[in-house]
C-alpha cells in the first residue's frame, strides 16, 4: 500500500507517530507544496492513500478524478473545506479526519499581540545591533480587544484578553446578544463599530464566501489611532492590499499576520514590505497557529489510527 504524506514542512511526520503498525506500508514524505495541478497529478498518481496537512494542498474535483489509485484521504483536523467531499464519494474515495487541539491559535494570537505591543522584534534586533533598548512598549492592560468572531477560539481570546486586563468587544454577522452575555462581552452592532471601539482587533472567523474580503479598506479606515490588527484565522478574510495601504496610512498602526491568500507566501509578495517589516510595524509568521508538537502528535497519531482502521474495514472519523 503506497502512502504519501504531504506538506511536511518541518520533516517530522514520521517521528510524531508509530507508522510501523500499518500493514505493507510504503511511505513517501513530501516536504514541499506543489500548486500546479499537472505536477501534483504526476507526483501523486501512484499512491493509494494520501495524508494531508490541513488545507496546505487543496483537493478539488479535478485532482481527485485524476488520481486513479486513490482510495483513502486522511486530513488532519476534524474538517477540511479544501476537499471536494462529493467528488471523493463519487469516486469511492473515503475521507477521514482527526481531532485537534483547541488552544494553539489563541496562544499565537496573544503572542503576536504582545510582541507588537512591546516592540519585541525591533528591541531584540536593537539588542543585537546597537547593544540596548531604543523605544517604549505599550501595556495591554486597560486596552480594548475587539474580536471578529466569537466561536471557540474567540471565546478563548476573550478569556486571555481579560486576564491581561483588557475589555472585550465582539462582532460577527450571526453573533447574538445571548452569546455575548454568556461570555461577558460587549456586542458591537457593525464591523465598523467594532473597529472603532478596539485598540486591538483579532480575527477568528471561518473562511467562506461571505467572509472573504470582509475586512476591507473601509474597515481599516474605521480603526482607532495606534490600533493593532491580528489575523491568525484565514488570509483572504482580510483584503491584503487594503491592509498594506492601511498600514502605510497608519490604520492599522501595526499588524501581526499568520495567514495568507497564497501559502507558502512567495518571496516577492507585496506583504514582505521591507520598510514595514524592518520597522516592526508588520510582523509576519508562517502560519504557525496550529503548528505545535502536541498538535502534530494528535494529527499524525490519529492519521495512523485512521489508516489502520480503514485497512481493517472499519474506517473512523469519516467525513464523506
**Angle at Cα 211 formed by Cα 207 and Cα 212, nearest 5°?**
80
User: Which class does domain 2-101+292-311 fall in?
Assistant: alpha beta
- Segment 271-299 mean pLDDT: 97
- Cα distance between residue 240 and residue 227, in whole Å: 17
The overall average pLDDT reported for the chain is 97
CA atoms within 13 A of residue 187's CA, in its CB half-sphere: 14
pLDDT interval class at 131 (50, 70, 90): very high
Q: Do domains 2-101+292-311 and 104-284 have the same CATH topology?
A: yes
CATH architecture entry for 104-284: 3-Layer(aba) Sandwich (3.40)
Q: Which pLDDT tens digit goes with each residue over 56-71?
A: 999 999 999 999 999 9
pLDDT of residue 311: 96
Domain boundaries, the chain: 2-101+292-311, 104-284
At which residue does the C-alpha cell 536593537 appear?
126
Q: Which pLDDT tens digit goes with each residue over 211-268?
A: 999 999 999 999 999 999 999 999 999 999 999 999 999 999 999 999 999 999 999 9
Q: Which pLDDT tens digit goes with each residue over 93-119?
A: 999 999 999 899 999 999 999 999 999
Amino acid at each position: 500500500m503506497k502512502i504519501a504524506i504531504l506538506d511536511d514542512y518541518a520533516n517530522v511526520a514520521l517521528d510524531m507517530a508509530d507508522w510501523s503498525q500499518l500493514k505493507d506500508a510504503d511511505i513517501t514524505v513530501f516536504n514541499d507544496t506543489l500548486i500546479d495541478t499537472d505536477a501534483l497529478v504526476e507526483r501523486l498518481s501512484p499512491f493509494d492513500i494520501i495524508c494531508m496537512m490541513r488545507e496546505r494542498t487543496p483537493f478539488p474535483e479535478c485532482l481527485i478524478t485524476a488520481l486513479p489509485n486513490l482510495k483513502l484521504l486522511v486530513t488532519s483536523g476534524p474538517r477540511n473545506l479544501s476537499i471536494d467531499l462529493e467528488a471523493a464519494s463519487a469516486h469511492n474515495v473515503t475521507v477521514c479526519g482527526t481531532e485537534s487541539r483547541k488552544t494553539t491559535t489563541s496562544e499565537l494570537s496573544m503572542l503576536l499581540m504582545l510582541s507588537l505591543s512591546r516592540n519585541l522584534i525591533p528591541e531584540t534586533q536593537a539588542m543585537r545591533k546597537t547593544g540596548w533598548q531604543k523605544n517604549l512598549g505599550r501595556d495591554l492592560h486597560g486596552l480594548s480587544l475587539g474580536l471578529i468572531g466569537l466561536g471557540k477560539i474567540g471565546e478563548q481570546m476573550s478569556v486571555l484578553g481579560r486576564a491581561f486586563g483588557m475589555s472585550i468587544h465582539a462582532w460577527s454577522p450571526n453573533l447574538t446578544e445571548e452569546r455575548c452575555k454568556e461570555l461577558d462581552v460587549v456586542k458591537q452592532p457593525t464591523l465598523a463599530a467594532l473597529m472603532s471601539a478596539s485598540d486591538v482587533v483579532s480575527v477568528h472567523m471561518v473562511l467562506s464566501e461571505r467572509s472573504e474580503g470582509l475586512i476591507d479598506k473601509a474597515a481599516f479606515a474605521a480603526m482607532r489611532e495606534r490600533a493593532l490588527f491580528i489575523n491568525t484565522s484565514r488570509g483572504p478574510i482580510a483584503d491584503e492590499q487594503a491592509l498594506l495601504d492601511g498600514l502605510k496610512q497608519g490604520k492599522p498602526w501595526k499588524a501581526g499576520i499568520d495567514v495568507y491568500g497564497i501559502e507558502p507566501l512567495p518571496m516577492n509578495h507585496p506583504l514582505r514590505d521591507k520598510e514595514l517589516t524592518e520597522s516592526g510595524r508588520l510582523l509576519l509568521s508562517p502560519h504557525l497557529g496550529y503548528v505545535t508538537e502536541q498538535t502534530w502528535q494528535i494529527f499524525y497519531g490519529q492519521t495512523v489510527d485512521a489508516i489502520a482502521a480503514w485497512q481493517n474495514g472499519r474506517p473512523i472519523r469519516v467525513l464523506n
